Amino acid sequence: MSDEEEKCPPCPAGLPGWLATFGDLMSLLMCFFVLLLSFSEMDVLKFKQLAGSMREAFGVQNQVKVADIPKGTSIIAQEFSPGRPEPTPLNEVRQMTTDNDLQTLDIRTQEGESEVSEEEKSETQEELRELLEQIEEQAEAQAKTDAVSFAAALQSEIGQGSVEVETDGKKIIIRVKDKGSFSSGSAELKFAYIPVMAKIRDVLLTVHGKVAIEGHTDNIPVSGGQYESNWGLSTARALSVAHELFADPRIDQSRFNVVGYSDTKPLAPNDTSLNRSTNRRVEIIVQKGADPEALEKIKAGDAEVFGPLTPQEVF
């Protein structure tokens, strides 16, 4: 090297200046992703489906007793089952294998999802029972509150004895008596009773639940009229009340069920004229809470939690 060539200037001491900016950027990115992870929520059902798919693709976890020789590990969990597992969002579902000849793979459904174990079904059903008990208690309390609203709106009619309002568990029963509502052997609602139906309709607009309109008669056969039997008369009277309620387009008709019971459900024995008058009635029944049949199935444990009867159908 000749003396005339310029020598390279010495490098400054310390780290280059761009490294501080790069370090700050990496720290900010790490904090950003840590915050994203902390704000995230895990979908338990999707996690189970993903775990089932991975377990089907790469193998299953075996429950091995401590006294037995460890038989191997899965690709997902890189430790033997008797070892201390790391904390996970869900409890691991393991299989007890005491005989090497037994099948260790889960039975899969047609959709590819793993079958729910009996223990999980039992736990889920128990949770559903507790939830349904809470719903029933809330429904009964709401039924009493709504019954007060009906009683306040029909105060004058209740005082005259033409309407009754009562509760039966989760049911609100508005009983329209024969007095002044229908003529003998007729299913045409009297004009004076139309304002009463309007009051009931106004409260029904603010009350939730399924509504059943039931017609009832006494045991005296119908003769000389347009109805061949008390079945036709009771059904026609219930339908007449329903048509009057449906006069307001705001009423959701899908909530209603109209039926006639003839003299099959009397309130009193049909042995006196007073009792027969009591039995001639139309009842508007508001059902609060879940479907009673579905509740009984869940309580008895007869319903498959993930089978034909799903929690969405129950509620």
Q: What percent of the chain has pLDDT over 90?
A: 17
pLDDT at position 116, please? 55
The residue type found at 168 is D
Q: What is the mean pLDDT of the chain?
A: 75
Question: What pLDDT, in 10s, does the model give residues 5-43?
Answer: 567 777 777 778 788 899 899 999 999 998 888 877 767
CA distance 45 to 315: 19
Least-confidence region, from 20-29, 72-81, 245-254: 72-81
The set of residues, in sequence order, having a beta carbon less than 8 Å from that of 182 and lying 6+ positions away, is 188, 189, 190, 237, 240, 280
Half-sphere exposure of 54 (CA within 13 A, CB side): 11
Mean predicted confidence (pLDDT) in 59-85: 54
